[in-house]
Chains A and B, each alone.
Chain A
């Protein structure tokens, strides 16, 4: 490991040699001189703090790895550090109590009509996991030992394939509940080419697997990464030009047909304050059962590890199914992370398909693919989570926002004081600037709605934080969890993703940074409440639809035969009326009230029926079982957990699903990690891509020629205080922060020092962010205008733009990126 770290940082490392010190010793608690020196200098000159000033973390010398999934590497180190570290768990992060082990999940690969499993983690055992007895008797040249197949293979096959196989070519995903075994089975049927017996050379072991990855894994050193070619997403624009003609990529014929009724999707500008709303409307439309919303037919070819197609002749295919068996108690976790697990399973499928092309290495590669997948899932399950992601917690009405705000302000002030100095290359400003440039969901949260003269004050409206209840939600019908997930993973406006990894050695500092970022990286908040209205059902009536057009002969008539009216409980007639009458008619206009039916003249009766709770006693809508997995505090309903689950504290591995996480550098092989990161950045089949495709109009991504890169990974390193942005174009170091962010943090610190209440500090930050958005609106107006006068040129110098917009040169990039969220053509004004 030492050599790896050395080669990795040979060019960049500082003289202090903290890494070498940390890496030559395998034991954890080696101090990192770079971070401790800067933090000890900070503690020697404490800032005057008026409030609660127990600093949330102190320069820590212990690097206790969090209880996470036990990768081989960590097993070693955690044993070493176990004795020395007995400190209390970090207050900012929660640890998952019941961890998931790779052994807890069983993986089975079965072939249609065969009784022997192709693979089974319980019975096909790789050499590394042999028992001592097995080692004694088995042929050591053999990679695997096959134990006696389990009796349940037939049953698993039955469930996965069904009694009648589905039409070939159609993948079939299934989830069964095995109540007796208290297990769940997740299975998928797919077909692979017949295996070739031919190649037997030992060289090809693992080759079919590495072959598939080699398209991406060419990168073995970081040399190629430092300079990014072509357009950069972090560099300050050199010049602007007016955007006169936006070239649109019109979809193919099929697309045209799809868009025929919804031609507006292709257009680009949506007011920033509507971003969240519009995404939901679009989702409701796109996921609607009645719409033409097939996933693009080219979907499979988008897959990162798609099969190479030479052996795809029909009769040469074998039908396989894989099954993943997990404990019933893990279902909440699995279901909650469904988009992520689905994408992982799809990768697994591709890898098995690829592995099938080479028989000798098949089992090795399948075993390896499963090992990696189970590791990813265990990491997802076990990683320490940010206890209270700031933005989400601030929006939870019932919770202790006050303390959330106050902890956050303490954190931010401390971080700024210590790590936003010349010595640390203005690390905090730099990091926040970069996060604001790429995790774009904050834009919607600070975009004020336009002045509506008819708007009336809403007493419930939060005047400090940009969240509002979506009253439209029930009338739209969309999946709020998915909408939240998309916002969080950075798919705002355009299809793109953004993730941030903070790396370093000091886990306290790392969790503080992750916690702080959970304020800037935002998403909508979902709350589940028992709603009395659930039990008040609109009464039915007979209805004869017309066959062709919605002409008035579609007749609805009051029901004649319906006489079942449930006896209401606890709800008076008046309550019922108030809650069910549409705003357009008042109580006065109701001529008669009979029982629970309200008659409006000759109208179809807008009346309701109260559902008898006894009838559906076991179906209380809001039930939380204690055993269920929950990433943060127990007050959170588990189904809201996906969003929260993506804010992760320090971990000894890189997992591409986390939106924010911290990487303990001394516990990982950074070279491998970089390779993995690069793979992810280049991948266009991640969970969030799939979710976006499933929920957004395909044409909205091709709105203009110039686009932001699909995926962005922000890498912030607390060892050398650099912030880098990794994208498919390369790796860019962010040279300096945006002045607007620097000023914001300076003012924040000043206000913090004089003891301004945390609420006000938060509103100050909100106003500062809104200010950046306001400037981006000005920029858009400038670049989309025709030049005034006849001799006006299309070119605009950055100085000119800056002076009109009223910003610093260093803010231009941030402002452009913000504008691109709601008006993507702005990008062609700088790249054009």
Chain B
């Protein structure tokens, strides 16, 4: 609740009274933070604090087939105990008005006094100050205007509300004025004080004020012009209605033929008795005046919020995320990217990855280099095992070394087909598949299980042995990322989430190079691959294959963006 608007009245019987308060109600959820950092890229688990769960059950009670009855805490915690008469009463403690702004999850409630005691205290203090303490700036203009009106006026009364001025010692404009007042203890208030004509009021004017109350002074000042205009408009409408009523009530008693102003005044004084108990409905002659005010106040509170488009800082989606949005549901399941226990699944994969690295390295360090090199350069890794789930776990584990867009995964196929050669890089299958011998750049591994535990998920590769059946030619120099990955995988310190974040940042780092390469390739099309690669800092010849392969894994959305930027450098603005 940033601000509320209240209509206040200086009641002739009771003094300053809050007559109507329009308050926006919102659900208030604080950001859920956790004590220990969770840098995991997996979606947050259901870590809803207890308090919130309780709230949610409350909320759910309120929901009937989808839409809540109201938002926020709409309990009435303060009851009005002040003496009141008709003139200073609107809804009383009875039913009030509620408008649900569902798209913006806000309920606007107009009641006599605010529901919450803190709000009420502040509104009440603003009411007292606006009606009996504060002095508005004097307005010479209005006095001048009045004088002019008197001199010019020669028309019969009751046509225009303005003409009614002539019979008053005081003008309805007199108390008009807007001001901001307040302090840190009581909040701040944008106040507009005004008078309404009432034939039966003392001095034939009633004093009102419209107050916007907030804790935030800058909110009131930054919307100063808007509030000034909005409250002035509301006031003018009320004054217009009151004048018409006034004119109607007085005209029945006065006939134009009665002559001079003085004569009319005398009659006026004689015939209209003071009635201090007339409420706003009577003064304005509008039975729907509370509804109208409710709408206008709601509009005043709501419009600045809707017209303010706050663009907050949040990083652009990663390539992985964009790619995932482009994947079909089946692939997401296949790649185990969306799982109720995503975090556990990821941790298990990473643990398997470390197992694989350790096992290969213990046998022959070169084999680990080869495996990582094959994976990151998009060359084939074929895993054979009688147990499909072992193949699957192996391949999912090593898939953490690649951006999602580069994953061409076939977790288990009975046969190694022509399709396998072209479509996939990470392939699983039964032992002794018929892999053409002329394919020289493949790494074939075999997982031998010794009585492993079966399960749907969380299959560990701990008890298995990994045997290399066929090695591709070893490069003179491995790409740099191979060394980095190897170090991370063999480091006993780097486990679980440490491994996860370090792998992720390594992937992102090389993905950045791939992006550069893609952009350059598209923009400077005449240059060759080697030439372009040389412009990218920090990469050597042996890294070319990695960068080339990874740029294929960029998301379609990103590629389209890049192409659009190049194709329409002038008209099409991509940054927007």
Q: How distant is A176 from chain B, measured CB to nearest CB, in Å?
A: 5
| A524 proximal to B (CB < 8 A) | yes
On chain A, the residues within 8 Å of B61 by CB distance are: 550-552
CB <8 Å contact, B313 and A449: no
Choose the segment among A3-11, A56-64, A162-170, A303-311 that binds chain B (4+ C-beta atoms closer than 8 Å): A162-170
Instruction: Please report which residues of chain B, range 34-78, place their CB below 8 angstroms from some CB of chain A when the two chains form the complex.
Output: 34-44, 49, 51, 58, 61-62, 64-67, 69-70, 73-77
Give the docked Cα–Cα distance between A262 and B65 (Å). 29
Number of interface residues of B (CB under 8 A): 181
Give the docked Cα–Cα distance between A785 and B500 (Å). 13
| A253 proximal to B (CB < 8 A) | no
> Given that A289-B3, A621-B226 are known contacts, is A448 also in contact with B318, CB under 8 Å in the complex?
yes
Instruction: Please report which residues of chain B, range 451-492, place their CB below 8 angstroms from some CB of chain A when the two chains form the complex.
Output: 484, 487-488, 491-492
Q: How distant is B449 from chain A, measured CB to nearest CB, in Å?
A: 27
Complex partner residue of A295 from B26, B100, B184, B226, CB under 8 angstroms: B184
B536 to A, closest residue via Cβ: A747
Instruction: Please report which residues of chain A, range 556-610, place their CB below 8 angstroms from some CB of chain B when the two chains form the complex.
Output: 556, 561-564, 579-582, 584-585, 600-601, 603-604, 606, 609
| A465 proximal to B (CB < 8 A) | yes
- The digit string for B181-198, where 1 denotes a CB below 8 A from any CB of A, is 111111110000000000
Give the docked Cα–Cα distance between A563 and B508 (Å). 60
> Given that A456-B325, A766-B316, A806-B505 are known contacts, is A464 also in contact with B309, CB under 8 Å in the complex?
no
On chain B, the residues within 8 Å of A263 by CB distance are: 49, 51
Instruction: Please report which residues of chain B, range 142-183, place their CB below 8 angstroms from some CB of chain A when the two chains form the complex.
Output: 177-183
30 contacts between A and B (CB under 8 A): A267-B35, A274-B314, A280-B312, A284-B26, A288-B1, A336-B221, A445-B314, A451-B337, A453-B332, A453-B338, A457-B325, A467-B313, A470-B311, A475-B26, A475-B27, A475-B104, A477-B26, A522-B313, A530-B307, A544-B95, A545-B115, A580-B103, A615-B296, A616-B230, A621-B303, A621-B304, A767-B508, A771-B508, A778-B39, A785-B498
Complex partner residue of B295 from A450, A451, A606, A611, CB under 8 angstroms: A611
Q: How distant is A679 from chain B, measured CB to nearest CB, in Å?
A: 24
> Given that A281-B30, A541-B97 are known contacts, is A760 also in contact with B306, CB under 8 Å in the complex?
no
CB <8 Å contact, B221 and A463: no
CB <8 Å contact, B575 and A464: yes
CB <8 Å contact, B177 and A462: no
CB <8 Å contact, B314 and A542: no
CB <8 Å contact, B575 and A619: no
Number of interface residues of A (CB under 8 A): 201
> Given that A759-B565, A771-B509, A804-B493 are known contacts, is A179 also in contact with B35, CB under 8 Å in the complex?
no
On chain B, the residues within 8 Å of A285 by CB distance are: 28, 30
| A707 proximal to B (CB < 8 A) | no
CB <8 Å contact, B118 and A774: no
| B259 proximal to A (CB < 8 A) | no
Give the docked Cα–Cα distance between A523 and B215 (Å). 24
> Given that A281-B29, A784-B36, A788-B492 are known contacts, is A455 also in contact with B321, CB under 8 Å in the complex?
yes
CB <8 Å contact, B43 and A450: yes
CB <8 Å contact, B137 and A177: yes
CB <8 Å contact, B558 and A178: no
Q: How distant is A828 from chain B, measured CB to nearest CB, in Å?
A: 13
On chain B, the residues within 8 Å of A622 by CB distance are: 307
Choose the segment among B80-88, B370-378, B513-521 that binds chain A (4+ C-beta atoms closer than 8 Å): B513-521
On chain B, the residues within 8 Å of A220 by CB distance are: none
Give the docked Cα–Cα distance between A280 and B28 (Å). 12
Given contacts A170-B186, A457-B326, 20 further A-B contacts (CB under 8 A): A267-B33, A281-B30, A287-B215, A290-B118, A292-B118, A299-B184, A335-B224, A338-B222, A455-B317, A464-B561, A473-B305, A475-B27, A480-B308, A537-B99, A582-B66, A601-B65, A615-B237, A619-B230, A764-B515, A778-B502
Give the docked Cα–Cα distance between A552 and B1 (Å). 23
| B437 proximal to A (CB < 8 A) | no
Instruction: Please report which residues of chain A, range 622-660, place their CB below 8 angstroms from some CB of chain B when the two chains form the complex.
Output: 622-623, 625, 639
CB <8 Å contact, A173 and B181: yes
The 7 closest A-B pairs by CB, nearest first: A774-B505, A543-B98, A453-B338, A278-B31, A475-B105, A474-B104, A448-B315
| A439 proximal to B (CB < 8 A) | no
| A692 proximal to B (CB < 8 A) | no
- The digit string for B560-576, where 1 denotes a CB below 8 A from any CB of A, is 01100110011001111
